[in-house]
Amino acid sequence: MSFIIYPQTPDNKLAVIIPTGDYQDAIKDVPEGVEYAVVDDLGSLDNEYFDAFEYQDLGIACNINKAKAIHLDKFREARKPLLSKLDVDYMKAIEVEDSVAASAIAVKKQALRDITLTPLPNTLPEIKAVWPDILN
């Protein structure tokens, strides 16, 4: 099967047309004046990180900085319920004037906030393999 790929402006974000028939018929769907390529394979295109892929040199390339940003957003989503629970625990500790528990909870909350400072590698498979234990 052939696919038609082209860049979306302004940031070269990848657009993919999946023809239902002959790809020649689908070329009309590419915006006028926009460079495009017909490829038989989408390569390592990963749906979870689709927004990190860009159109480059008549092909597909992963923008590692965008992939890292997507992965950090996954960290943020995973920590939301953890922080919410710790917020409740913290308020309960404050209500009973347990400053030791409140301090311990504050340290845990800060560790969760700092999770976005985790250094990430420079390839998509390696980035995907990074998952801090604190988020489990």
pLDDT of residue 80: 98
Place of tokens 């500790």: 93
Q: Extract the tokens encoding 133.
A: 């234990």
Same domain, 11 and 53: yes
Cα torsion through 80, 81, 86, 87, rounded to 10: 70
Query: Which residues, in sequence order, are CB contacts of 24 under 8 Å at separation 6+?
Result: none
Instruction: Please count the structural domains in the chain.
Output: 2
Domain interval for residue 75: 65-135
Section 52-62 average pLDDT: 87
Same domain, 125 and 70: yes
Last residue of a domain, one of 11, 27, 62: 62
pLDDT of residue 52: 92
pLDDT of residue 129: 96
Please tell me whether the peptide bond between 132 and the residue prior to it is cis, using omega within 30 degrees of 0: no
